[in-house]
Amino acid sequence: MNEQQNGHYVLLTPGPLSTSMTVKQAMLKDWCTWDDDYNKGVVEAIRGKLVTIATRQPGYTCALMQGSGTASVEATIGSVIPSDGKLLVIDNGAYGARMVQIARYLNIPCHVLKSPETEPPNLTELQRALEQDSAITHVAVVHCETTTGMLNPIEEVTALARQFSKRVILDAMSSFGGIPMDIGELGVDFMISSANKCIQGVPGFGFVIAKQAELAQCEGRARSLSLDLYDQWRHMEDNKGKWRFTSPTHTVRAFHQALLELEIEGGVVQRHKRYSDNQKTLVQGMRKLGFTALLPDELHSPVITSFYSPQAADYSFKTFYDFLKNKGFVIYPGKVSSADCFRIGNIGEVFQKDVLQLLAAIEEYVNRLP
């Protein structure tokens, strides 16, 4: 009935996530990092496709960076903010908090605009901070805070940043490729995402899509050799897709295949529809089973949803997790500091039939509770 019987699971997480068989098969061939078939045929094709997905506006470019999504966030923060710059971070979840942590590790002055994890940022406070603190040069915000599943109001945030002539860093880790947006129209200067999210590739690298004029000014700003975003981009530009250091070739080739499959599905609009349909079916089904979503519907994203844990005396997340894993589904523990909850993702190679089978498995579990 499900993939678990073959040793596989449906990953209902915000990434890594379930991938197609053809994406997996793309990793079966070895590639040489010096070969034009790889650099020009695969890497350069990826860079061009990513910019096309991100915006219809001219003047944007792309750099790929080895490592996790956080590595690309750190590369961006550490490479684009000058020595006399200051970062404002919107922090209403674990990933906003991580950007604050990165800034502090790198000794970058940081103004933290803190909000509760279950609330969007206070835009009045943001405007006040930008009015009062002229030292701020960059504003950083997470689009989809997978701590809760909330979508932050990036249109309003970027509009305020532009009003005060601040550069914008957008962590679109869990939204790019799955939620329609045009970063050029928004005025985003640097957007960061990862291979193993809504494009539906596998882990191994992240990428930054940036205004070329802004990135070109970042030479010499990096606080790390390996995470020098400018130098990585410059090397790829000058050498037609060649990475400075060892490229994660199999992951890159799988990502190229995933991009082709995004096009076949109908692009970001159709993928967003599938994810949204998954999420609505999930929430409706969970409510029928007695579960309550952590956030109100208007704050939900199609990426991941948090639910309060059952109050039954015999409930534990570990038991629930193991039960669903035995049925072929892997979910995520909660990450909200103020609530006992768990999370279920809707992205990846996940379809309505998977959501309905998951709901049937959860109903079976609920019926076993006293």
pLDDT digits (tens, 9 = 90+) for 175-192: 999 999 999 999 999 999
Amino acid at 258: A
Whose tokens are 């750099």? That residue is 63
Contact between 271 and 218 (Cβ < 8 Å):
no
Whether residue 7 is predicted with pLDDT greater than 90 in this model: the reply is no
Comparing C-alpha atoms, which of 181, 174, 182 is closest to residue 198?
174
Two tokens, residue 354: 């998977």
List, in order, residues 6 or more apart from 367 with CB less than 8 Å away: none
Window from 16-20, 348-352, 366-370 with minimum mean pLDDT: 366-370
Window from 64-78, 131-145, 233-247, 324-338 with minimum mean pLDDT: 324-338
List, in order, residues 6 or more apart from 158 with CB less than 8 Å away: 168, 170, 186, 187, 188
Distance CA 367, CA 370 (A): 8
Cα angle 192, 110, 225; round to 5 = 55
Whose tokens are 């400075």? That residue is 244
Helix-, strand-, coil-residue percentages of the chain, each rounded to 5: 45, 15, 40
Three-state secondary-structure class, residue 141: strand
Tell me what the mean pLDDT of segment 67-75 comes to. Answer: 97
131-175 residue pLDDT tens: 999 999 999 999 999 989 999 999 999 999 999 999 999 999 999
Q: Residue 58: is it exposed, middle or buried by C-beta count within 10 angstroms (0-12/13-18/19+)?
A: exposed
Contact between 42 and 201 (Cβ < 8 Å):
no
- What pLDDT does 2 receive? 43
Q: For all residues of the chain together, what is the average pLDDT?
A: 95
In angstroms and rounded to an integer, the radius of gyration of the C-alpha atoms of the chain is: 21
- What pLDDT does 8 receive? 79
pTM of the model: 0.95
- β-strand 332-333 against 150-151: which pairing, if any? unpaired
- What pLDDT does 15 receive? 82
The neighbouring-strand residues paired with 191 are 170, 209
Whether residue 45 is predicted with pLDDT greater than 60 in this model: the reply is yes
Tell me what the mean pLDDT of segment 295-302 comes to. Answer: 93
Comparing C-alpha atoms, which of 48, 98, 55 is closest to residue 77?
98
The neighbouring-strand residues paired with 151 are 144
Tell me what the mean pLDDT of segment 119-140 comes to. Answer: 97
Residue 370 pLDDT class (50, 70, 90 cuts):
confident
Helix (H) or strand (E) holding 271: helix 267-288
Tell me what the mean pLDDT of segment 247-270 comes to. Answer: 98
Whether residue 83 is predicted with pLDDT greater than 90 in this model: the reply is yes
- β-strand 87-91 against 138-142: which pairing, if any? parallel
* Alpha helices (H) in 300-351, listed in sequence order: 317-326
Distance CA 293, CA 305 (A): 7
Distance CA 58, CA 176 (A): 18
The neighbouring-strand residues paired with 22 are none
Distance CA 247, CA 252 (A): 8
Tell me what the mean pLDDT of segment 111-118 comes to. Answer: 96
Distance CA 216, CA 190 (A): 12
Contact between 89 and 99 (Cβ < 8 Å):
yes
